[in-house]
Amino acid sequence: MHERAVTESLLEIVMRHASNAGAKRITDLYLVIGQLSSIVDDSVQFYWDLVAEGTPAMGAELHFKRIPVELSCLECKRKYSPDREDFACPDCGSSHIKVLAGDEFYLEAINIE
């Protein structure tokens, strides 16, 4: 259910930027979402259609770009992408890791008229 709150916040951000730019209509939103993020694309789309109704963002197309997970082992310094759900370092087996990419969620761009 947190996708609804996230989507409402997204609409507020988009509307603020569109208003500052003097836009009459918002046509596209480009979202970046890391694979580790708990954000579900279909849920965001579903809630977007609800919360954007009656606003200049109604009907805007959402574009989702998923960022793969990239980790760094804090023991041996290897950078790697994990296999499935095993995040342990493939070289030394350590689970002492740092997430370099894959936990993002942000609005990259919007298109307006």
pLDDT one-digit tens code per residue, 51-89: 999 999 999 999 999 999 999 999 999 999 998 778 999
- Is 86 part of a structural domain of the chain? no
> CATH number of the domain that 38 lies in?
3.30.2320.50
Count of structural domains within the chain: 1
What φ, ψ does residue 87 adopt, rounded to 5°?
A: -90, 0
For residue 35, the enclosing domain spans 2-68+101-112
Which residues, 6 or more positions from 45, have their beta carbon under 8 angstroms from its beta carbon? 62
- Is 105 part of a structural domain of the chain? yes
pTM metric for this prediction: 0.84
